[in-house]
Amino acid sequence: MATKNRPLSPHLQVWRWGPAMLVSILHRVTGDGMALVGLGVLIYWLASLAGGPAAYEAFSAHAAAWYGKVVLVGLTWAFFNHMASGVRHFVLDIGAGFELKSNAAWSVFTPLFALAATVVTWAAILLK
């Protein structure tokens, strides 16, 4: 097809990486992760509670296993990262925060906040 050879606009590999680019990509990755994995876990969690003690025991065993913890910690990080970059989007939506320096500063802040919030959350759970 002739349309296959049409020139393409420059894609990811030609741009110099900046923090805003990383935050944008992470926003989509964490959103997709929560939509595809997180909502699945949510359904399983609610179904196991509705199914009675034995069903919930099975859920608990998976959640406590190493792979369950990896998924839950990953979802916690995805939640805080998506939340932080989402709040950043609200600020950008009102037309603020586009100056080069403040844009880069808040872009660096959002993933750092997500990591810190994830560590604090799981410390609170595991040190109980």
Partner 1 sequence: MGNGTSIGRVRGHGSAHSGTHHWLVQRYTAIANLFLGLWLVFSLVTMPNYEYGTLMTWATGPFNAVLLALFVVSTFWHARLGLQVVVEDYVHDHANKFAAMAALNLAAFGGAGASLFFIARMVMLAAGQESAAAALQSAMGGR
Binding site residues, partner 1, CB under 8 A = 28, 31-32, 34-35, 38-39, 42-43, 46-47, 49-50, 52-53, 56-57, 60, 76, 79, 83, 86-87, 89-90, 93, 121, 124-125, 128
CA–CA distance, 32 with 92 (Å, rounded to integer): 21
- Of 93 and 100, CB closest to partner 1: 93
- Of 112 and 120, CB closest to partner 1: 120
Cα 115–Cα 107–Cα 41 angle in degrees, nearest 5: 45
Q: Which residues contact 111 (CB under 8 A, 6 or more apart)?
A: 22, 23, 26, 81, 84
- Of 88 and 103, CB closest to partner 1: 88
CA–CA distance, 23 with 87 (Å, rounded to integer): 12
What is the nearest approach in angstroms of partner 1 to the Cβ of residue 73?
A: 13
Q: In b/e form, how buried is each residue of 23-42, taking b as 16+ CB within 10 angstroms? A: beebbeebbebbeeebeebe
What is the nearest approach in angstroms of partner 1 to the Cβ of residue 101?
A: 26
What is the nearest approach in angstroms of partner 1 to the Cβ of residue 117?
A: 9
- Of 7 and 101, CB closest to partner 1: 7
